[in-house]
């Protein structure tokens, strides 16, 4: 970090190393030396870079017995996103598409009459335990390990090491248990471009790309899908972000640069602007460190469609970098959103680790707590027109229901969200073909959660991973 911060951290290290010799006038039970060290790490980072640092309560970290609870106590009322973990390696792997997973994304619901919990499969990554077991979009999970799914255990369907699930079949407005499947989680590299194709309708050649999360390690997969669409001479493009929680800012920059008008991209126009806490905002502005204040379209993008309009499929799971894509493109081209209102995430974060903060003190100090990491909100962003603070998300241009009870494969013309986009593009209806799909249930229910990874919440934070705190000397 910058020199002023390094000095202050060295000072607190000296204090921290003498915990046992210090007296404190506060009452209560002191935390263990290990917990105090973690708490001090939290305090040092939050006091400096947190967007709302000047609104944090004054809490004596030495008397906080649980570091997770201490972190939560420091958060500003509006902050739904800052995060702490004691497994920072797994967190960083997740940002790179490395997950220990079954390979499916689930929506969780509750039957209102019985309060029984169920899960519906939103999509499945190929070449994963779930796909190998034949699990597909629209499958209903009604039991887990031979017992009911409850509020206390439903996330085990995503996070456990191994599991037995029972699929259900909807018949005559009731669901009966059917096949049981055993799954073992595997650590996998997950390409977020799950599927892309080109469909034709009423003189339009429409490209479709399903993008599951923003991972810049897989930007070449975006390029390959879009280059194929160029080769197919598409007239229109639909990007499916309905389940995309976000991810890394540079993957969003890459996608936006690939689709925006050529004059916008080739002149490195502003994609978004950053707004920090008052300390950092002043320093970046005073010293004209513009790459810490603005993100630009990338004129070196290897594939450029140069579009003047785009359709983006959205839902409540559309967050962070997905929303940045929508708002960042909007001042420069016609962006039509189709589906449901987005999550509402207009802030960014970065991952701080003890080894970075306390590097001068050496591993003998930070090594004991090196598994910890913090992702505090460090900035909010606005597009080039100044749009920010969209707490309620973006309401879709065209509303369409993602009916998981009545699913079709993603990217097929009759799938409801894609169908609505095609009809808007062409001005002509898509006639549904007869199929053996089940009918939408009339059983009263409510969806209450969804997810793929235990780090979905982190990906909603918009990872800013190239800020140079050493720029100022």
pLDDT one-digit tens code per residue, 225-239: 999 999 999 999 999
**Picking from 94-103, 310-319, 390-399, 455-464, which range would have the lowest pLDDT averaged per residue?**
455-464
Report how far residue 32's alpha carbon sits from residue 204's, in angstroms, rounded to the nearest whole number: 66
From start to end of 64-161, where are the E strands? 83-85, 98-101, 104-111, 117-124, 140-144, 147-148
Tokens of 7: 């000095």
Residue 242 has pLDDT above 60, yes or no: yes
CA–CA–CA angle 355, 360, 362 (5° rounding): 60
**Picking from 94-98, 110-114, 203-207, which range would have the lowest pLDDT averaged per residue?**
94-98
Residue 7 has pLDDT above 50, yes or no: no
pLDDT one-digit tens code per residue, 276-323: 999 999 999 999 999 999 999 999 999 999 999 999 999 999 999 999
Q: What is the torsional sign of CA 42, 47, 50, 53? A: positive
Mean pLDDT of all residues belonging to the chain: 89
Residue 13 has pLDDT above 80, yes or no: no
pLDDT one-digit tens code per residue, 366-402: 999 999 999 999 999 999 999 998 989 999 999 999 9
* CA distances in angstroms from 335 to 212, 239, 295, 325, listed in the order given: 19, 11, 20, 10
Count other Cβ atoms within 10 Å, centred on residue 279.
Answer: 14
Domains and CATH numbers, the chain: 3-77 (no CATH), 100-189 (2.30.42.10), 193-433 (3.90.226.10)
Q: Quick one: 174 exposed, middle or buried, by C-beta within 10 A (0-12, 13-18, 19+)?
A: exposed
Residue 426 has pLDDT above 60, yes or no: yes
pLDDT one-digit tens code per residue, 37-86: 999 999 999 999 999 999 999 999 999 999 999 999 999 998 988 989 99
177: three-class secondary structure by DSSP: strand
pLDDT one-digit tens code per residue, 147-202: 999 999 999 999 899 999 999 998 777 788 999 999 999 998 999 999 999 999 99
Residue of 9 and 70 predicted with greater confidence: 70
Report how far residue 455's alpha carbon sits from residue 44's, in angstroms, rounded to the nearest whole number: 24
**Residue 119: closest CA among 131, 134, 103, 137:** 137
Do 340 and 394 contact (CB within 8 A), yes or no? no
Q: What pLDDT does residue 81 have?
A: 87
Q: What pLDDT does residue 23 have?
A: 40
**Residue 239: closest CA among 312, 296, 299, 146:** 312
Provide the pLDDT confidence category of residue 328 given band limits of 50, 70 and 90.
very high
Do 116 and 148 contact (CB within 8 A), yes or no? yes
* Helices 33-49 and 3-17, axial angle in degrees (round to 10): 160
Residue of 144 and 111 predicted with greater confidence: 144
The residue assigned the tokens 């017995």 is 65
250 alpha-carbon distance from chain centroid: 14
No. of helices (H) and no. of strands (E), the chain: 15, 21
Do 108 and 450 contact (CB within 8 A), yes or no? yes
Residue of 434 and 382 predicted with greater confidence: 382
């Amino acid at each position: 970090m910058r020199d002023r911060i390094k000095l202050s951290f060295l000072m607190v290290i000296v204090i921290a190393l003498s915990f046992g010799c210090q007296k404190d006038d506060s009452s209560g039970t002191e935390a263990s030396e290990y917990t105090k060290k973690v708490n001090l790490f939290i305090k040092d980072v939050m006091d400096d870079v947190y967007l709302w640092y000047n609104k944090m309560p004054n809490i004596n970290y030495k008397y906080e017995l649980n570091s997770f609870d201490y972190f939560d106590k420091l958060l500003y009322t509006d902050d739904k996103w800052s995060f702490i973990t004691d497994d920072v390696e797994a967190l960083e792997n997740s940002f790179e598409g490395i997950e220990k997973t079954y390979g499916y994304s689930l929506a969780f619901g509750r039957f209102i009459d019985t309060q029984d919990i169920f899960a519906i499969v939103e999509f499945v990554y190929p070449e994963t335990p779930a796909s190998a077991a034949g699990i597909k979009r629209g499958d209903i999970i009604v039991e887990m390990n031979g017992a009911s799914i409850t509020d206390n255990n439903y996330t085990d369907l995503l996070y456990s090491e191994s599991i037995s699930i029972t699929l259900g079949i909807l018949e005559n407005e009731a669901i009966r248990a059917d096949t049981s499947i055993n799954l073992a989680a595997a650590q996998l590299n997950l390409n977020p471009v799950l599927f892309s194709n080109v469909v034709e309708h009423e003189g339009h050649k429409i490209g479709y790309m399903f993008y599951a999360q923003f991972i810049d390690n897989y930007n070449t997969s975006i390029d390959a899908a879009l280059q194929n669409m160029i080769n197919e001479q598409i007239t229109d493009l639909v990007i499916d972000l309905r389940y995309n929680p976000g991810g890394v800012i540079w993957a969003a920059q890459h996608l936006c640069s690939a689709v925006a008008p050529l004059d916008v991209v080739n002149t490195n126009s502003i994609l978004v602007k950053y707004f920090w806490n008052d300390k950092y905002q002043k320093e970046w502005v005073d010293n004209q460190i513009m790459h810490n204040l603005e993100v630009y379209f990338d004129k070196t993008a290897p594939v450029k469609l140069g579009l003047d309009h785009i359709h983006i499929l959205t839902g409540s799971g559309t967050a962070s970098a997905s929303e940045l894509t929508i708002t960042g493109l909007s001042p420069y081209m016609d962006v039509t959103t189709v589906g449901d209102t987005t999550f509402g995430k207009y802030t960014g974060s970065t991952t701080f680790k003890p080894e970075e903060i306390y590097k001068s003190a050496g591993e003998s100090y930070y090594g004991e707590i090196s598994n910890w990491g913090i992702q505090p909100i460090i900035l909010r962003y606005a597009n080039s027109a100044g749009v920010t603070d969209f707490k309620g998300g973006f309401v879709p241009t065209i509303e369409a229901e993602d009916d998981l009870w009545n699913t079709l494969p993603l990217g097929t013309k009759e799938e409801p969200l894609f169908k609505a986009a095609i009809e808007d593009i062409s001005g002509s209806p898509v006639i549904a073909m007869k199929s053996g799909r089940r009918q939408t249930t009339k059983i009263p229910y409510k969806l209450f959660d969804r997810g793929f990874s235990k780090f979905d919440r982190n990906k909603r934070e918009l990872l800013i991973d190239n800020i140079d705190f050493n720029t100022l000397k």
